[in-house]
Amino acid sequence: MKDEVIYESWRDTKNLYFNDEDLIAKIKNTGAEIFICEGDNVKKNVIERTNLKIIGSTRDDPNNIDVVTATSKKIPVIFAPKRNTLSVVELAVSLILALARKLHVVDRTLHSKAFRVEEFTDYVKYYNMFKGIEIHGKTVGIIGLGAIGIEVAKRLVPFGVRILVFDPYMNQERLKQVNATSVPLDTLMAESDFITLHCPPTDETEGMVGAKQIGLMKPTAYLVNLARASVTDEAALLAALKDNRIAGAALDVFSNEPVDYDNEFLKLDNVIVTPHIGGDTIDTNNRHAMMMVDAIEQILQGKVPPNLVNPEVLGGTRPAKPAAPPVSEQSTLLELKKKVVDVCSKLAQKGYVVATAGNVSARVKTGDGSERYLVTPSTKDYSSMEPDDLLLVDGTGAVIEGTRNPTSERMLHIKVYQARPDVHFIIHSHAPFSTVLSIARTPIGPFVDEIIPFIGGCNVAEYGEAGSEELAENTVKALGDNYAVFIANHGNVCVGVSAEHAWRNCELVEFAARIQYHASQLGTIYAIPEEAEARAKEIFEIMKETQKED
């Protein structure tokens, strides 16, 4: 191998390679044999058309690398487990302390134009406004006692707090280390003065801290979220903060990222907003860089590094995954059914479906690792849909559970899920303006510049008969990597990583379709400049990455 090193940080170039051809050209032009990246997509096409010998992902989860293809070509894939754990831990503790002492209120007030101390009464007013609390003697609830949660707990112990934990898969030894008490989720929500979330985004945790749980919180309690927005009911949390039903929150993650000026939480004085910077430290960068260097050195010496995803390519073996503890799949399925029913209700209220037209589905992961799909029935009015009306089907569309007839479009949903591992929820609606454009075979063009960063684009799939394999394949092809597609004469299909995400995309598409339709009635409509469209698409790719687990 050559010993030349070319270093180009995306922080400096402000560019990530999501397009296969661009990345292939870059690798070939530089003659690179080792490629280390953080967010660039190194997928099958890239691996097969380049001469890479080692691939590195500076992430805890190397989901930006096609490990299967790399393994088939005997290419080692290295990654950076727990690279940012300490950074996230320290930010979580910092935010708890900042909330307790109202540092955000102090800082904003002192920097505001209204701040004046001209009389002693002014000083007293601010002194009273800035009165905080100690965390000593308070109760801290930790949701998720994994790698990050346990380290947060360890750092809180010296403050003399009482620690409550909710984690169905908790290691009892960890609980003893921090003298914590395991309690049900509702108990933790009701008794804690500070609640901090450190659980992964899964089907089971989606919406786990919902309106009911938030309603249990003390009016003096605070919530800290450095996990994922999908763990909470974001709308319910926003409402509680607006109404001062809870004391405040510190949030680093949101359903719509990156954070922009229109984020509703930025308008609230009782919220600390940080733009997904939990792991953004010099130390994280140094740590994952040295993990890459050490692993490459070991590979060149004929050794098998511990942070190798596929040790079998070097003669090693993958450690056996521990058996998952038993979970209540029926309980998880019921919660997912409620989300589907909720979306059905919204579709009916908005007039996006008429009677039984349209369909909704959700991906279901079972305890044995197989996949099933929750789908709506074909003969049920959406305004009266109930959880028991839904059906569970397998990858062939066969019914596993349920008594009604499943939607005839179920194969369309299944094909999308199989082509897009990032998609967990699909909505097919006959929203009026989307249907008009689908009949006219008119895609959403680059006219409304706020839309592209969120959905990527909305093309039109070629016509196919309802329920046919042809329609399913046409839809997958036209959807591509975007979050929305029109299907000829059939309205729109909007997808997302969660129910909330898919519903937001559905509303955005109909909004854009309405604007485009009305604008077309005035005559010629003008697209945004090509460079602006290109930037919008770059933002879309970055936003897609933020939906993935880091």
Question: Catalytic positions, please?
Answer: 228, 257, 276
Residue 21: exposure state from Cβ atoms within 10 A (0-12, 13-18, ≥19): exposed
Please answer whether residues 443 and 515 qualify as being in contact, where contact means their C-beta atoms are separated by less than 8 angstroms.
Answer: no
Size (the chain), residues: 550
C-alpha–C-alpha distance, residues 274 and 251, integer Å: 6
- Which residue is listed with tokens 């985004």? 201
Q: Are strands 181-182 and 162-166 parallel, antiparallel or unpaired?
A: parallel
Q: Are strands 271-273 and 248-251 parallel, antiparallel or unpaired?
A: parallel
- Other Cβ atoms within 10 Å of 408 Cβ, number: 14
In sequence order, what are the residues at sequence separation of 6 or more whose Cβ sits closer than 8 angstroms to the Cβ of residue 475?
Answer: 412, 415, 416, 461, 464, 485, 487, 493
| Biggest alpha carbon–alpha carbon distance for the chain | 77
- Which residue is listed with tokens 């059939």? 490
C-alpha–C-alpha distance, residues 249 and 95, integer Å: 9
In the sheet where 425-429 sits, what is the strand order?
399-401, 391-393, 371-375, 359-365, 425-429, 492-496, 484-487, 458-461
Please answer whether residues 240 and 214 qualify as being in contact, where contact means their C-beta atoms are separated by less than 8 angstroms.
Answer: yes
DSSP symbols for 230-267: GGB-HHHHHHHHHTTSSSEEEES--SS-S--TT-GGGG
Structure token digits, residue 409: 């479009």
Structure token digits, residue 174: 């960890």
Q: Which of 311, 305, 375, 386 is nearest to 342 (CA)?
A: 386
C-alpha–C-alpha distance, residues 516 and 520, integer Å: 6
